[in-house]
Each structure stands twice: as structure tokens, then as C-alpha cells.
Chain A
């Protein structure tokens, strides 16, 4: 995104210390994408300076109110502040601590160890069928992806790190900020959360609230409260347990597999949604609290994609049958085969080489003409179809006119 032109929205009427909304325009997209950035008025001039342009802010009322910005869209990513506001709404108490951006638990411990809570390590994983998981474990818990993969019923190497692009796309967090709180986003509704059962016995659990520049501490029961409020059943699991999975021992965590796979960036979604897993240890009450409204978009997308799979096979067949060169090849082959057999009938002692030579010569001389004639045929036929299409679209309108005239 390049800030190509911007006009301050209602700046002239605002308190100079208040936030100002700038609109940026993307060079690449045909339809300009507007996004709002808020700045405090005082910080504008350094901001402009940082763009290295000799721009003087022009304070004038905006010509058109940008409706996009005014309306809050549900599909927009949640910010840390929005999350914290939601926690406050839920009357969840939490301690919040700002610190520089941390990428590891060790670094995080330096700043928030004093809170006396359990640090979490959070893994964002995917399986071969593009279903996503967050595993949130105590910092000390050993997490063996191979064993977990088997316990989930995904086979031995079924779990991998999710692609980097999925972090901003699905969880709407940056690298190093994976947190169970990301499930507040609509886009993450199908991500399965596995929680270390060790959290239950902790006084406080420490997580990033959508940014790795802050850590919040809250009690396990409050954390459960939050999860239930966003429709996620908290699933506590003994992550270090390694039961043998086999014929007699079905995968014990299979119930945690998400019902839907997601359209991961760059990955084709070919798998139809699996049936909802039976919850053996869930009561009916809890079941109804599960997200019942299956959002329509992904299933539509999946339908479209699986729908696209079918025509793909047909498209190749059509491409073959409209290919002029292949057509001429087949024609010439047929003719030469028949010709050879007829020739052989005439004189058995004919030299094979001479026949082939003759045929090659014939083919060469006739190819160019045949190709040209076939292409002419193809173009003419397409033209007829094209005009038929146009006429058939216009026909009902033409008819209507006649009726109206009467």
C-alpha cells in the first residue's frame, strides 16, 4: 500500500489533539481500497516527514464522507483494544503488562515473570486436510507433535506448522503473537483449540492479547468464560500423555478435529467437510453452545471449488476436441492407415519403405491445407455460436417490444 493521496477527514473541525483518519489508496487494485489509519494530530507532521515527501498537510473538509470507515464490519480483525473491551464487558478481570515485542517465551518471561502466572507457548498447526489447530501449553510441557497427531487420528506425520500466511489471514495476528484469544475472530471459527490441562491448576494464565507487545494474566475460570462467550468449548488435554493408538485404542483426541477445513492461502481446498464429531464427554447443554450457525461462505466456496473440479475434466476434453492440429493429425492418420491397407491389397510385394515415404510426402503436402481449412471451420462455427448467443439474449427483449407496441 502506498499513501498516494490523502485528505484528512473533518480535520478542520476536530480537536487538533484528537485522532484524524487518513485514507490510503492502493496503486495496484483497480478498485481503490480504502483503509483508515488513525493518528493523533500532533504526530502528523513527523509522519509526513517520515514519508520523505515535501507534503504540507492541507486542512480542508473532506468532499465525501467515507461510509466504509463509519460502518463497523464484523469481518474486520479484532484489535487488542477491542479484545480487552470485550473482556471488560464479560466482567473478566485481568492484569495487563506492556513490553517490547517478544518472539519467545524466554523473552516474555523477562518482562512478565513477576506476575506469578503460567506462561503459555502457543503453536498454530495444520493437518493434511487443511484443518487448523492452536495448541496452548504451559511453557514447561513437552509437546510431541507426532504423538498428538496420532491421538487426533491424523496418522504419524499429520500435524505441521501452519503456513505463515495463515497467521494474518485466519488469526489476524502477527508472527510471534499466536494466542487462543485469536479465536475471537470470525475467520478463526473453525480452528480447534487444545489447552494444556496444566492451566487449570494455575493461579493465572498468561497470554498475548492479539499482539506480542502486551501480555495479560487472567484466571483459568475467567479464561474459560471468555472461550465460552465466543462459542468455543474449552478443551483441556493432557498434552504429555502418550497412549498407544491402535486397533483397540482409537485416537482419544479425535473429537477435537475441526468440522471444517479452511481455505488456506495458497492451498486448494478439495476435501468436503467431515461430519461433526461425536462428543463423548460433552453434555447436551454444552453441545447447544457450540457454534451452530455454520457460516455460509466457506461451504459456498467449497461447493464452488468442488464444482470446479468436475468441469476441469470436461474442459480438457473440450480443449482436445477443439484443437485443430490434433484433429488434422487424427484425420491424416486414419486416411494413411486405410490407404496403406488398400495399397497392400493391391500388391503384396510392395516395399514398406516406399509406402511410408509416399505417405509422408502426401501428408506434408496436404497438412497445411487441411490445417487451414479446419481452422476456418472452427472459426466459422464459433462465430455462428457467438451470434446465436447474442441473438438469444436479445430475443426476449425484442419480443417484449413487439408485445408492448400492440
Chain B
């Protein structure tokens, strides 16, 4: 998959997403570009335009009822905010019908930042509470096509990224990680061709805005990203009674076009349409106007950052909604709308009560920017440290085990 958090490509001009009828669109959201006038993405408009549904309070409560525990912080705070057919998946699950999870990453760089980890952290939660298997696609071929990386480099990056993904805490008993270059094999290739036979080039152009100047592989890649939505792509895992298993795809909302296409194709191949649960984009440290980019190390917190780096970055680069001076701050309070540390705490601070108290105090002026940032540094350091510890324990053999084409006998246990 392409970057899930608003990372821009080297593309010179914005790619049209082909659905503009009323002239120039205000915001552009597609797998290769996310931008909006004034920096702020209008998610309501986006949901309307894409045609997915908002994840409302009742669904969150349903999650808690079915799983028997508090919903994940990303759900509660609205980071994962949209879905397609999620209620169908929950209905089926209550009836005893299982499903599997499918997510992925486009391994474009060796360094991952927290924004990259967001979908994986959420997917781990889904795997734990529903006790279902997960397949993770590393699209090294995509990065080869779009980023002009060599095949060998893409493969290497895929393996490196796999280590960070594993460090998020996925259960090897129920997780299959695969890279396109090494997994391409009869079952998945046959599905790719079946899907390819259902979608014309015109449709691809319409969905992804490609032109005849683009290399042919880019036209073909969407089929590759669609194929893992069908369980027959993994006969070593899903066979017999699981050959028509439902699929739930947690991803960022810019991936929606791929799966709109997939959902269109699914009934023609007599599969369930894959369900989606979609997230917003993670804000860059500099705020809405900034873009999280691999080229700017100060735009995000990286999983390789030391505690000192985190402290430095948050203190110096995190955009603050607080007032310029302490006096003003005490008087007027902070602008919570644009304050990045509060936004980050919104997603990473699990304690609802504490978050509420911080917002109140900060908004009223009782709390200073420095204090909020300090709390954020604590929270982020804990997460990054935990990740680094887990990452250190991942060896080449661990990656081999996760990527081995093997049955998962206790994937629902």
C-alpha cells in the first residue's frame, strides 16, 4: 500500500482523482496524495464523496458489547471514524461466523514513524479482541513501480519494515506476513487475474487518475492490492469451511479507492464484499499545514528516535495552540483546535479522565504548553521505548517464521 498518512509523492502536480464534476476540488485524497486548501481535511465531505459511513457511537458500543471490553482508544477518540459494512461483520460474528483481517504497508523507507504504526496498532487490537487471523501485505512491487526503487532494494525494505510491524505485537499463531515479490504464486495470481478480468483500464483511470504516460504496472497494481481480500488467495490458511471467509480491512481512508474497486468485483467472483474500517490522517508535528514526510525528520516521531530526540522534537517542533506568553496563556487559554500536543494526546493517552482534565485546564489557561508537552513526551517515550524493546527482539528467523507459508491451525483459538 502507499503511505497511509498523507505522505506526498515526488509528483509535480496533484493527481486528479477523476470524480471532479464541479470544477476544481478543494481537497485531494487518493493513495498518492492528500492535500487540502488551508491544510485541514474536511472528513465529512470526504465520507460523503467516497460513499462510506461514519463510525458512530452505537457501533462503538456494539464493539464493547461484543468484545467484552473497552473499545480501543483510536475508536473512542474518533481516529478510526469511517467504515463500510462493519455492522455486517459484527452481525456475522455474533452469529458465530468468523472473519479475517487484512492490512498492509508500502515499504518505501526504512524509517517508520508513529503515523505508520497507527493502522498496525489498531489491527493488533482487532486481532486480540476478535481472535481472528490476519494477513499483512508488503507491497514491495508497488514501491518498485512508483518510487523507482530496484527490486532488491524494495525486497530489503519490505523485510526491514516487517520487523517493525512484528514489533507491534502481532501473534505469530495467527498472523501471516507476505511480500508481493516472494508470495506471488498460483493461488494469489489466479485471483489477481480474475479481478483483472472484471475491471477495465477506463475504470482504473477513473479511480486512480492514471494516464497512458504512466507505466503499465501501475494499471495492474490495484488488482494486486485487491487480491488478498479474497480468502482463496491463501489456501494454506483458508481452506475447506473457511474458503469463503469474510474479510475486514483496517486502513487509512486514502486507501478507500482500492477497496471500492474490490467491493465491486467481489460479488462477481462470489465472495463477500470486504468490509473496511478507516482512519483519519495523523497530523504532522508542525500541525495541519505541515505534511508528514520521510524527508523531514522533524515532522514526526520515528520509532528509532531516542528519548532525547523525542523530547527535542516535541518541545521545538510540535505546533502549539498556546498563547505567546505565560500571562496571555493564563488569561485566554490555549486554542485546542490547532494544538498538536493535545491532538497527539487525544490518540495516545488512554486515560479518558486525564485527557479531559488536561483539555479543560489547558483550554482555560490553568495549564501551560510546557506542561502539556511534558506529558506528551512521557506518553510517547513509553510507546517508543516499548516498540524499540520489542523490535530488538525480532530476528531474521522471526521474520522467516511470520512469512512462512504455513497453516495457522489455531487462528481462531
Contact = CB atoms under 8 A, between A and B. Distances in A.
Interface stretch (A191-199, A205-213, A281-289, A318-326): A318-326
Nearest to B397: A383
B401 A372 contact: no
B171 A372 contact: no
Nearest to A29: B243
A132 to B, nearest CB: 25
A88 interface: no
Interface in A300-319: 315-316, 318-319
Contacts of A369: 386
B395 A382 contact: no
Interface string A379-390: 110111011000
A256 B171 CA distance: 54
A369 B393 CA distance: 14
A392 interface: no
A359 interface: no
A315 B386 contact: no
A376 B390 contact: yes
Contacts of B334: none
Given A372-B386, A383-B397, A386-B401, A324 B171 contact: yes
A316 B169 CA distance: 22
B360 interface: no
A318 B397 CA distance: 23
Interface in B128-177: 128, 166-167, 169-173
A36 B384 CA distance: 64
A28 B270 contact: yes
Contact of A375 (B169, B397, B401): B169
Contacts of A371: 169
A373 B235 contact: no
Contacts of B235: 30
A378 B172 contact: yes
Contacts of A325: 128
Interface of B: 128, 166-167, 169-173, 232, 235, 270, 382, 386, 389-390, 393-395, 397-398, 400-402, 404, 406, 410, 413
7 nearest CB pairs, A to B: A319-B413, A383-B401, A386-B401, A375-B169, A379-B172, A383-B398, A376-B393
29 contacts: A27-B270, A30-B235, A315-B410, A315-B413, A318-B413, A319-B413, A322-B173, A322-B413, A324-B171, A325-B128, A368-B382, A368-B386, A369-B386, A372-B169, A372-B389, A372-B390, A373-B389, A376-B167, A376-B389, A376-B394, A378-B172, A378-B173, A379-B166, A379-B171, A380-B393, A382-B401, A383-B397, A383-B398, A386-B406
